[in-house]
Amino acid sequence: MARLPRRAPGELDGEALALHEKITSGPRGASMTDEREALVGPFTAMLLSPPVGDALQELGAAIRYRSTLPPRARELAILTVADHWDSAFERRAHESAGRAAGLTEEELATLHSADPFEAAVLTTTRRLLESGDLTDDEYAALDERTLFELTTLVGYYATLAMQLRVYRVT
């Protein structure tokens, strides 16, 4: 059972309402709201501390919409983090995004890719989740910008998965 109630815009004031409007007017749009226009998933908790929540959602927007990670590789990495943390919400949300990015049902089910770059992203993501570090060979498999964006992605989605678990968001 969810520990946080979803709050519709009419139940918010000040910074929380401004953050709600920022999230729903951004690239995620209304896809992160329910029938009452209340934020869903990790965005519910972000309203608890609007300054921190805003910084966190901005980081997520940068990862999703402004990084150089190709959409297929990005969604495979996000889904790998969701699987590692058993995050049903992120899995549902990003399977849809993965399909839109061109992932097949088999790729979504197995989280594998025949593409060498995507395979390297998957290997690196799994290694980061297992140990938080990379061997020299693993480090050399991707360029440094990609590694920076990927380590940021893994940390961000691990944070969301933890928050979703703590607040019992499904």
Going by pLDDT thresholds of 50, 70 and 90, the confidence category of residue 42 is very high
Q: 43 pLDDT exceeds 80?
A: yes
Going by pLDDT thresholds of 50, 70 and 90, the confidence category of residue 29 is confident
Structural domains for the chain:
9-56 (no CATH), 71-166 (1.20.1290.10)
Q: 2 pLDDT exceeds 90?
A: no
Q: Give the model confidence (pLDDT) of 103-115 as tens digits.
A: 999 999 999 999 9
pLDDT at res. 47: 96
Q: How many CA atoms lie within 13 A of 2 on its CB side?
A: 13
**What's the rounded Cα separation, in Å, for the pair 94 and 102?**
12
Does the pTM surpass 0.85? The reply is yes
Q: 170 pLDDT exceeds 80?
A: no
What's the burial of 155, exposed, middle or buried (CB within 10 Å: 0-12/13-18/19+)?
A: middle
Structure tokens at 43: 């965005």
Q: What separation, in Å, do the N-terminal and C-terminal C-alpha atoms of the chain show?
A: 9
pLDDT at res. 31: 85
Q: Give the model confidence (pLDDT) of 75-95 as tens digits.
A: 999 999 999 999 999 999 999
CA–CA–CA angle 23, 26, 28 (5° rounding): 80
pLDDT at res. 28: 85
The amino acid occupying position 51 is P
Q: 120 pLDDT exceeds 90?
A: yes
3-class secondary-structure state, position 86: coil
